[in-house]
Structure 1
């Protein structure tokens, strides 16, 4: 007896429907995608950059890029997986293009309330050196393997492991 494949859940159906409509130029569908997915995109951008202003800018640029690339999405992987990869690639490229700023901007300083809503590790991430933070986020939080992290950041796998252990050590010191 052949069983039919179980139906996709309503949220996935709704998301895929909005993706299809947005691919056809429907701006309302794209706005729904933005409302639904921007918090996840922003969280990844914030974790990678450690700076509210960078995360806000990168998030906006990711959605601009998404609008441009949406026609290329072919439903071969989950849309959220595809968007995650787009976000990751764009944010890493964005960070490479940014000068290394040492002083916090006023907007970063004013984000104290927002940072208080994050868990303790998320609040400590901005205090890590940029590369160690990026490796830690990709490996420990996003689940990438060291060889994948190395490829994404254009470093050697051994460097990824060393930066990850450095980040863990620094976080442990901050927590003590």
Structure 2
């Protein structure tokens, strides 16, 4: 049975069709959110579950203008990005609870690099970050990304070029005040 037939059955309340769609596509949804969650498996599971809840609720609105997998991927990316923003807001409100006597062992070089990459990714405007992750990490083409984000492929190429250049600047050794004074790049105008 193809996805379109399963979608029609799921819209009519067939739990077996919903289960079949889940079994077919759960691995891909998890892989997408896992890349955005980093090393936190529990967080990736939460975001994947949230993506499925959103997808099932929105299933009646799926028009079939794009492939089901593209539509589902877009929901998964949005769920993960929403979860990340929520965590960042929450982390910004929480004060560290460590006393002065707490000591930390020096981090391994790869951990430091990972932290630098994470910080640099967080400083990218959301549109650039989405295109960078979807193209360079997930391996989507500019045409597929454009379809997912609702922009033309040329915009995706431009955003990817700017994102890579910005990452190079953010990761290069520079004095702290230079990084703070860096001009803000124009963010891609897409609301996903």
TM-score, normalised to structure 1, is 0.59
Candidates 129, 135, 138, aligned match of 1:139:
135
CA distance in 2, matches of 1:90, 1:22: 21
> What stretches of structure 2 of length at least 5 have no aligned partner?
93-112, 123-128, 152-157, 173-192
- CA positional deviation for 1:29: 0.6
- CA positional deviation for 1:137: 2.2
CA distance in 1, matches of 2:141, 2:119: 17
Contact 1:62 1:90 in 2 (8 A): yes
Partner of 1:81: 70
RMSD: 3.6
TM-score, normalised to structure 2, is 0.55
Q: Larger C-alpha radius of gyration, 1 or 2? A: 2
- CA positional deviation for 1:139: 2.8
Partner of 2:84: 95
Contact 1:49 1:126 in 2 (8 A): no
CA distance in 2, matches of 1:73, 1:151: 15
- The structure-2 alpha-carbon separation of the partners of 1:38 and 1:126, relative to structure 1 and needing over 3 Å to count, comes to farther
- CA-to-aligned-CA distance 1:141-161 (integer Å, 9 cap, x gap): 33365x97x999xxx947623
Count of aligned pairs between the two proteins: 130
Note the 1:45-124 alignment, pairs <5 A.
45-50=33-38, 51-99=40-88, 100=91
- The structure-2 alpha-carbon separation of the partners of 1:82 and 1:20, relative to structure 1 and needing over 3 Å to count, comes to same
Partner of 2:163: 160
- The structure-2 alpha-carbon separation of the partners of 1:67 and 1:166, relative to structure 1 and needing over 3 Å to count, comes to farther
- CA-to-aligned-CA distance 1:89-131 (integer Å, 9 cap, x gap): 1211111001459xxxxxxxxxxxxxxxxxxxxxxx9663155
Partner of 1:40: 28
